[in-house]
Amino acid sequence: MKPKLSDLRAFLSRADTLLFALCLTASVLGVIIISSATRSYNNATYVYVQIAALLIGIALYVLFTVIDTDIIADQWPLLLVAEVGLLLLLIPFGSEGDTGNRSWIRFLGIGIQPSEIVKVIYIVLSAKHISFLRDYRNLSSPLSVFQIAAHFGVLFVLILGISSDLGNALIFFFIFLIMMFVSGLRLYWFVFGGAGVAVMVPLAWNHVLSSRQKERILAPYDPTIDPQGYGVNWEPNQAKLALSAGRLTGQGLYHGTQTQSNESIDSKHADYIFAAIGEEWGMVGCVLVILLLTAIILRCVYVGIHSRSTFGMLVCFGVAAAFSFQTFVNIGMCLGLTPVIGVALPFFSYGGSSLFTSFAAMGLVSGIRYKPKPSQYTSFADY
The confidence band for 6, taking pLDDT boundaries of 50, 70 and 90, is low
The whole-number pLDDT of residue 204 equals 85
How far is residue 179's CA from residue 318's CA, in Å, rounded to a whole number? Answer: 6
Nearest to 50 by CA among 347, 361, 360, 363: 347
DSSP class of 224: T
Rg value, the chain, Cα: 21
Measured between alpha carbons, how far is 177 from 325 in angstroms, rounded to an integer? 11
> What is the predicted pLDDT for the residue at 378?
39
Paired strand residues for 107: 110
Of the chain, the percentage scoring pLDDT greater than 90 comes to 67
How many Å apart are CA 84 and CA 67, to the nearest integer?
23
pLDDT-wise least confident of 65-74, 104-113, 168-177: 104-113
pLDDT tens per residue across span 279-312: 999 999 999 999 999 999 999 999 999 998 999 9
214 vs 247 pLDDT, higher one: 247
| pLDDT score of 13 more than 80 | no
What does each C-alpha distance from 92 to 103, 233, 280, 319 come to in angstroms?
A: 12, 32, 41, 30
pLDDT surpasses 80 at 73: yes
Q: What average pLDDT does range 339-352 have in this prediction?
A: 92
pLDDT at res. 43: 85
pTM of the model: 0.92
**223: burial class by Cβ within 10 Å (0-12, 13-18, 19+)?**
exposed
- Please provide the average confidence, as pLDDT, over all residues in the chain: 89
- The confidence score (pLDDT) of residue 104 equals 84
Please give the single-letter amino acid code of residue 214.
K
> What would the DSSP string read from start to end of 52-66?
HHHHHHHHHHHHHHH
Is the separation of the CB atoms in 276 and 292 below 8 Å? no
pLDDT (tens digit, 9 = 90+) per residue, 178-236? 999 999 999 999 999 999 999 988 988 888 888 888 888 888 888 888 888 788 888 89
Q: How many helices (H) and strands (E) does the chain have?
A: 15, 3
The candidate with the shortest Cα–Cα distance to 23, out of 326, 301, 350, 295, is: 295
pLDDT tier at 97, thresholds 50, 70, 90: low
Measured CA to CA, the distance from residue 253 to residue 312 in angstroms comes to 40
CA 102 to chain centre: 18
Return d(Cα 366, Cα 228) in angstroms, integer: 48
Report the alpha-carbon distance of residue 170 to residue 165 in Å, rounded: 9
Cα separation of 79 and 91, whole Å?
20
Q: Write the pLDDT tens digit of every residue in 158-172.
A: 998 898 888 999 999
Weakest mean pLDDT among 137-141, 212-216, 372-376: 372-376
What are the CB-based long-range contacts (under 8 Å, 24+) for 258-266?
Answer: 259/36, 259/37, 260/36, 260/39, 260/40, 261/40, 262/40, 262/41, 264/238, 265/235, 265/238, 265/239, 266/98, 266/235
The pLDDT value given to residue 54: 97
